[in-house]
């Protein structure tokens, strides 16, 4: 994300665009904000929600990208819009990596979180593949030479959780989703998310179909080929996907940090959470 002073400058430089975005935001009710801790499974849950909306309301939409921004747009991206904004009975879900904001009031809010250690590992894999192949995990964990503008650091992630915890009482309604629960009971957790979003006629079948469509293999296929082909994924075991460097969709495994953290890293992490984290959200660090 661009630095705050750059975003302020751009808004002042394009007041008409800013006004149009404000009008869009206040144009309707039935709003849901979807806030995610970086590297916590954002693409997966966003894709699941989009598929649930498309199926529940029979929307004409082709999944050609793992970021279905026409269905679940990015909140602060001025150019992204919910395609069916004029149909207010369809919940408008908007995503952000930002923590609590006063702009989330009068809306339902979903917060997706994950074990901080695994988010650091996932972020490191992406950073080392795309930006600095020479950086060690230990240096990345300590933010030694790391570009901090995209909330990559452990400090930023801790502050994300702290800010939410401090402001839960200011929200009308919220739901915390743990990535590990989504992995363990994908259909059940997805169904709960759909119900919280306010999708009409939520059933176990609706959740099951969304989960099947949003499988790891199918999302990788879409990322690589720019088109959906769930039938081929289901029926042809010979169709393979690759793990390319910097690919957004990866295996999404839990407890990977055991393979990355050495003793000094563990000590550094523990000290950081003891000094800074005000609530562990059940992770018992």
What confidence tens digit (pLDDT) does each residue in 236-265 have?
A: 654 544 444 445 555 566 789 999 999 999
* 62-91: average pLDDT: 95
Q: What pLDDT shows up at residue 251?
A: 58
CB-based contacts of 238: which residues, under 8 Å, 6+ apart? none
Sheet containing strand 173-178, strands side by side: 92-96, 31-36, 108-113, 173-178
Q: How many CB atoms lie under 10 A from the CB of residue 153?
A: 20
Give strand pairing partners of 89: none
Closest CA to 44 of 221, 226, 248: 248
Residue 196 pLDDT class (50, 70, 90 cuts):
very high
Q: pTM for this structure?
A: 0.88
> How far apart (Å, rounded) are the C-alpha atoms in residues 1 and 98?
10
Q: What pLDDT shows up at residue 148?
A: 73
Q: Does domain 28-276 have CATH number 3.40.50.300?
A: yes
> How far apart (Å, rounded) are the C-alpha atoms in residues 283 and 285?
6
| Helix locations, 78-136, DSSP H | 116-130
Residue 14 pLDDT class (50, 70, 90 cuts):
confident
Give strand pairing partners of 9: none
Percentage, residues of the chain above pLDDT 70: 88
Largest CA distance in the chain: 55
């Amino acid at each position: 994300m661009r630095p705050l002073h750059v975003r302020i400058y751009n808004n002042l430089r394009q007041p008409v665009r800013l006004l149009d975005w404000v009008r869009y935001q206040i144009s309707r009710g039935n709003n849901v904000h979807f806030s995610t801790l970086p590297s916590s499974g954002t693409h997966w849950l966003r894709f699941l929600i989009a598929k649930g909306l498309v199926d529940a309301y029979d929307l004409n939409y082709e999944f050609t990208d793992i970021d279905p921004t026409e269905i679940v747009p990015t909140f602060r991206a001025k150019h992204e819009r919910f395609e069916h904004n004029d149909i207010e009975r369809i919940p408008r879900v908007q995503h952000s990596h930002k923590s609590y904001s006063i702009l989330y009031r009068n809306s339902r809010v979903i917060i997706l979180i994950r074990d901080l250690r695994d988010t650091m590992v996932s972020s490191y894999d992406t950073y080392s593949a795309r930006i600095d192949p020479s950086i060690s995990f230990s240096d990345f964990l300590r933010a030694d030479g790391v570009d901090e503008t995209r909330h990559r650091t452990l400090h930023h992630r801790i502050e994300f959780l702290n800010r939410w915890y401090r402001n839960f009482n200011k929200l009308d309604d919220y739901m915390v989703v743990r990535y590990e629960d989504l992995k363990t009971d994908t259909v059940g957790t997805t169904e709960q998310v759909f119900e919280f979003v306010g999708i009409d006629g939520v059933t176990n079948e609706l959740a099951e179909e969304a989960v099947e469509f949003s499988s790891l293999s199918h999302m990788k296929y879409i990322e690589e080929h720019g088109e959906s082909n769930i039938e081929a994924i289901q029926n042809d075991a010979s169709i393979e996907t690759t793990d390319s460097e910097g690919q957004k969709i990866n295996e999404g495994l839990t407890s990977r940090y055991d393979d990355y953290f050495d003793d000094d890293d563990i000590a550094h992490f523990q000290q950081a959470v003891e000094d800074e984290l005000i609530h562990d959200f059940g992770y018992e660090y």
